Amino acid sequence: MTTPRGPVDSSRIPRFAGPATFARLPRLDEVEQCDIAVVGVPFDSGVSYRPGARFGPSAVREASRLLRPYHPGLDVSPFAETQVADAGDIACNPFDINEAVETIEHAAGELIATGARPVTIGGDHTIALPLLRALSREHGPIAVLHFDAHLDTWDTYFGAEYTHGTPFRRAVEEGIVDTEALSHVGTRGPLYGKKDLEEDRRLGFGIITSSDVMRRGVDETVDALRQRVGDRPFYVSIDIDVLDPAHAPGTGTPEAGGLTSRELLEILRGLAGTRLVGADVVEVAPAYDHAEITSVAASHVAYDLISLLALTQRP
């Protein structure tokens, strides 16, 4: 096995210098093969309120300069145990959502076909649908753990089927997700009506609200999620607004009463040993992100997801 090429050594080249890739990793074209690919999707034409997530990938990459190569919480050196590379951005049409969705699906499919497992940085949550389409061709219908303040299972906005509030409804309708193993985590805030919850339940989702996490704690939450996904291949989709605005102000649709960054990271770490096949972190909007709080949180979330994927490759 070829020794993985890791990030730039920060003891020799200062963190504020060197490549602008995620965690200062090599680019995809600089390695012979890739196990885990960090890919950006700078698309936010599906948002219903504040735009700006198209600048999320670059902001998260910049914040990731502070990451270090050993993860003590999971006892893994992800960049040494697997080949992780930055695959750059998927460039898609900012004026045509349907075309953008097709472009993302095609590009993600090509990346997955090489054997790489994607950790995608958005962009708005619309991008989850084409990513799930691409992964389902490889794994069949997959389980989903969806971390978000919102359900994202609404039908349409202004008659549009593809928006950041509809991806998981479309995924269920298209049969690309396993309806026996779907969960929202961290939901909260007002809804349009009780029917939102009824329709969401009909689609197959279980819900662990932000209040549930607060009352039950991280360990009980992790146990419930592990039981939900079992030994299925599963995907983690994280809207950064699952965090409270105190921990993630730089997002398009903030809601009070969210998770802390510590709670989110600890829940993710509790998933070690499961069959994670891909993930996304979306809705980072740096224009609203004072002191880069949100970008820093998102970079650590992405790092934990990479570390979880690295653990699945251990014998």
How does pLDDT run across 208-264, given as a tens digit for each residue?
999 999 999 999 999 999 999 999 999 999 999 999 999 999 999 999 999 999 999
pLDDT at residue 1 tops 80: no
How does pLDDT run across 135-173, given as a tens digit for each residue?
999 999 999 999 999 999 999 999 999 999 999 999 999
How does pLDDT run across 6-30, given as a tens digit for each residue?
999 999 999 999 899 999 999 999 9
Residue 314 is predicted with a pLDDT of 80
Report the amino acid identity of residue 185: V
Alpha-carbon distance 172 to 175, whole Å? 5
Residues belonging to the binding site are 125, 148, 150, 152, 239, 241
Kindly give the pairing relationship between strand 233-239 and strand 205-209.
Answer: unpaired
Ramachandran area for residue 40 (φ above 0: left; ψ -120 to 50: alpha; else beta): beta
Alpha-carbon distance 223 to 213, whole Å? 12
Quote the mean pLDDT of the chain.
97
Residues belonging to the binding site for Mn(2+) are 125, 148, 150, 152, 239, 241
Domains of the chain: 22-311 (3.40.800.10)
The C-alpha angle 228, 232, 237, rounded to 5 degrees, equals: 70
